[in-house]
Amino acid sequence: MSRMNEQQVFLIDGRDVPFAPGQTVMQAALDAGVYIPHLCFHPQFKPHGSCKLCTVKVNGRPATSCTLPVAAGMEIESETAELKDKRRMLLQMLFVEGNHFCPSCEKSGNCKLQALAYDLGMMSPHYDHFFPDRPVDATHPEILLDFNRCILCELCVRASGEVDRKNVFALSGRGITKHLIVNSESGRLGDTDMSTTDMAMSVCPVGVILKKRVGFAVPVGQRKYDTIPISEQFGDAPNAVLEQTR
């Protein structure tokens, strides 16, 4: 067999993982059924590593796995105590930066932020809450926006711009003042052409973008992450292996 036809592999926590040329560490891992925690990654968009939850160590050096091109012979550490501790810290900061009241949230059980907190054993927010003053936008006849839960992952921004071609959302401000806005003269969603069929409607990993009048259609306790931990689900992978876990 020629070298060109040989299957190429790299290591994640000592496990051989095959990959195709051009894949990132994240893409190859998910395709192989190896879960790396993430919030801002989506297979349809160019990754930019904003949430940093997918940070791994590559030959001893930290790197975001969603942006790192994979190469044969790479040795990746992901499930170390050090990396899990850093991921918990990042989650804690996300929880206190916004207003996340999980028991009353429509997205509870379907929320990736909540699911990762459970999966990584986050027992408390640890830091002082910011309690930001963020309004709810109910001006659209079919869609509710609750900015309190936004984690600045930019998935709705990218979906609305790159897929829906509407550019409904954007991020404004810098640093601690950075926040999600609606691109209309009034700043209200009701003055945009957003539709419930837009991709931006479905990509939010938390509970910011919600359909009106369909709340709690699936009872809490029977939702996606209520029954199977997020680390055992791979629905973000292009060739999703979620069905194999059911």
pLDDT in tens, 198-213: 999 999 999 999 999 9
Topology (CATH level 3) of domain 85-214: Alpha-Beta Plaits (3.30.70)
Mean pLDDT, residues 227-243 taken together:
64
Q: Do domains 7-79 and 85-214 have the same CATH topology?
A: no
- Using 50, 70 and 90 to split pLDDT, how confident is the model at 4? very low
Per-domain residue ranges of the chain: 7-79, 85-214
Return the CATH number of the domain spanning residue range 7-79. Answer: 3.10.20.740
Mean pLDDT of 91-96: 97
- % of the chain at pLDDT higher than 70: 92
15: left (phi over 0), alpha (psi -120 to 50) or beta: beta
User: What pLDDT was estimated at residue 236?
Assistant: 54
Q: What is the pLDDT of residue 235?
A: 56
Q: What is the pLDDT of residue 6?
A: 56
User: 66, exposed or middle or buried, with CB in 10 Å at 0-12, 13-18, 19+?
Assistant: buried
Cα 195 from Cα 163, distance rounded (Å): 13
Residue 55 belongs to what H/E stretch? strand 55-58
At position 92, the amino acid (one-letter code) is: Q
Q: What is the pLDDT of residues 138-174, one digit of tens each?
A: 999 999 999 999 999 999 999 999 999 999 999 999 9
Buried b (16+ CB within 10 A) or exposed e, 172-209: eeeeeeeebebbeeeeebbebebeeebbbbebbbbbbb
pLDDT at 15 over 70: yes
